[in-house]
Amino acid sequence: MLCGRWRSRRRQESPVPAQVAASVALPPPSALQDGGTKRPRLRALKKMGLTEDEDVRAMLRGSRLCKIRSRTWQKERLYRLQEDGLSVWFQRRIPHPPSQHIFFVQHIEAVREGHQSEGLRRFGGAFAPARCLTVTFKGRRKNLDLVAPTAEEAQRWVRGLAKLRARLDAMSQRERLDHWIHSYLHRADSNQDSKMSFKEIKSLLRMVNVDMNDMYAYRLFKECDRSNNERLEGTEIEEFLRRLLKRPELEEIFHRYSGEDRVLSAPELLEFLEDQGEDGATLAHAQQLIQTYELNETAKQHELMTLDGFMMYLLSPEGDALDPAHTCMFQDMDQPLAHYFISSSHNTYLTDSQIGGLSSTEAYVRAFAQGCRCVELDCWEGPGGEPVIYHGHTLTSKILFRDVVQTVRDHAFTLSPYPVILSLENHCGLEQQAVMARHLRTILGDMLVTQALDSQNPEELPSPEQLKGRVLVKGKKLPAAWNEDGRILSDREEDDEEEEEEEGVQAEEQKRQAKQISPELSALVVYCCATRLRTLRPAPVPPQPCQMSSLSERKAKKLIREAGNSFVRHNARQLIRVYPSGLRMNSANYSPQEMWNSGCQLVALNFQTPGYEMDLNAGRFLINGRCGYVLKPACLRQPDTTFDPECPGPPRTTLTIQVLTAQQLPKLNAEKPNSIVDPLVRVEIHGVPMDCARKETNYVLNNGFNPRWGQTLQFQLRAPELALTRFMVEDYDTTSPNDFVGQFTLPFNSLKQGYRHIHLLSKDGASLSPATLFVHIRIQHS
């Protein structure tokens, strides 16, 4: 039984034209109705409106492009747009499994023209910029640096990929699903005759992650085989796909509200919206939804919604579990910086582990693309008087400080306009510190904050709004009365803890240099003055708001455990940066939630390491336009707050989630046709310790296409304003740990109630479209 409110009511009858009532029994618009035997190339691209586009047609023919990896590794390879319009096939010297010969358009982060990547700047100098392009990807996939034979061919790929990405972004979830199923249909049609034998249908079913009983599959096949020739073609294939894609749970909800005529009037849709718990649901809003999502023009004219329109609505962003109002900027951005959680990266320059990984400016570009607002620069003495950035005393490669600052200038504000903090870990001598200061001033120019906005000793930190488009430097500041001759800090001015840990392995000369501060670099530290946190007890002279501390995860956890409310009060006034323990040699992460519970603003993670910790970080900063700043709850902003995350009080909120179904889950092993997932759903609450919980459904055997659970999971929350809700799908395994299938994480306060779709993401945070969960969410406040 689906949850929801059944009510006995006098239905508001509305005249339903016969042609509208009949339309619900007709098949929905689909790709094959404009020509059932057309090859998918024309069908897919026609639906995208790109069949006659010259750039796309050239991509379909393919191009021989030179792939650049280094000065010596430069290989010509064939690249060709696949007929589905969603993926690009590329040649490899050694054949790999088919899935490793393609990349997907939806996984592209950006396409850059010219020498706009680290790889092409270093190794592409022999090629004209007009012939060069770089494809960057979401997640951890490396950039693809390419050189075309001519500038025009390069432009065809730049323009063509831009058109494909724009059309894909504009697709509704229903269109994506239609596109997705027909791409598999084409692959299953082994002899490409546009007809499907039962063997090919079985192959299709395995491709889309369902192991259907042979007898049931054959019965379904024969019911659609109107010509009785053991082949499906044209409308017969469409009928089979329509039955395969049927959503009984949506039909049940629709019929509950639509009654006998099987269409929703605007008042009936309004009743559904009210039962959903939609804020401010009105008849006008219901009418607007019909005009937006209804596919049948006759129904639309009579202000009626058919089942297809209802499904379009529930699969749209308005039917998401994430409140659409929270996806744009909606929070107050005029409060002091200390009142925000700020997306922060540790060892930002690394693309892999901190022992022998590659350092790259591209890691900064990727961090900014994920909304990061605080990046780290580990600065060391370099040859030729130029400071370098790398993880000291390891085998990680080195990059120039100057190149990183240029990357900040070019990419820091492409996604978010709000301030970026450069966290300097400074191991340079005085001369190269002066070089660092010169690069910061000359490259960043007016972006760089070099003096206080109001006064030299502000009573409050400025707001993100006041600092739009500006770059702040976090580092050590010379005391007011410093020694002009020695330029060495007094013994009382201690290093911050992060640099102190590093010094345990440094030579004495490096220790001495680390305690020296160049006045040129000191002058650039305005609002983020690195200071060691000595005590949380009230001091005779309160610390300046511009003083901030860096704590290891171990020290932060100790303060949370022992200081509780005192630490929360401190973080209501001062900025705190928390970073991973130096013992995490493989660049693993810690859970950021514990730090956020106490109001720590800059909880730095290794962005290059995927896992649930980065899922939580992405979920925390998913809202507010993904700008990298999220306003902390009021209990973490008030200077006299009594909040203690270890003692949050009694439960005051109940979250009930009914996990109903999933749709089109990805295959984990695309190379093994018989490998079908056994999915289960786990819902996790990450918040204050007493709120943390996880509950899961049973697993469904051999069905990743349309598994059904209908199980209810319930949670009690004491501090819902701090909680994150994580929906996780795994492939159950009896003999080994379950395999990750997909997940989605969002703030509890951004959850919408009612029937909702959850659009799943990969480990790297890339879309797994059209994979979704369908759930019912209910929130009760006591």
**Residues that are catalytic:** 346, 391
Helix (H/G/I), strand (E/B), else coil: 408: helix
Q: Strand pairing partners for 135? A: 111, 144
Q: Helix 173-188 vs helix 235-244: angle between axes, to the nearest 10 degrees?
A: 120
At 483, the amino acid letter reads: N
User: How many contiguous H segments (helices) and E segments (strands) does the chain have?
Assistant: 24, 30
Distances (CA, A) of 477 to 219, 256, 539, 604: 77, 67, 21, 22
Question: Cα(200)–Cα(266) distance, rounded to whole angstroms?
Answer: 43
| H or E element that contains 184 | helix 173-188
Q: What six digits make up the tokens of 302?
A: 């009579």
3-state secondary structure of 551: strand
> Where are the extended beta strands (E) located within 358-491?
374-380, 388-389, 399-400, 420-426, 471-475
Rounded-to-integer distance, Cα 44 and Cα 691, Å? 47
**Residue 656 token pair:** 């009930």
Residue (of 686, 716, 711) closest to 773 by Cα position: 711
DSSP state of 71: S
Strands annotated E in 260-415: 264-265, 304-305, 340-345, 374-380, 388-389, 399-400
**Please, where are the H alpha helices in 525-639?**
553-563, 565-573, 593-597, 612-620
Q: Does residue 284 come out as left (phi exceeding 0), alpha (psi in the -120 to 50 range) or beta?
A: alpha
Longest CA pairwise span in the chain (Å)? 98
Phi, psi at 558, each rounded to 5°? -65, -40
How far apart CA 515 and CA 492 sit, in angstroms, is 12
The Cα–Cα gap between 93 and 251 comes to: 50
Cβ atoms of 723 and 691 closer than 8 Å:
yes
Q: Which amino acid is at 92?
A: R
Q: Is 630 helix (H, G, I), strand (E, B) or coil?
A: strand
Spell out the residues 6+ positions from residue 636 whose beta carbon is closer than 8 angstroms to its own: 568, 571, 572, 598, 599, 643
- Residue keyed to tokens 């999502």: 293
Name the residue among 627, 522, 528, 631 with its Cα closest to residue 574: 528
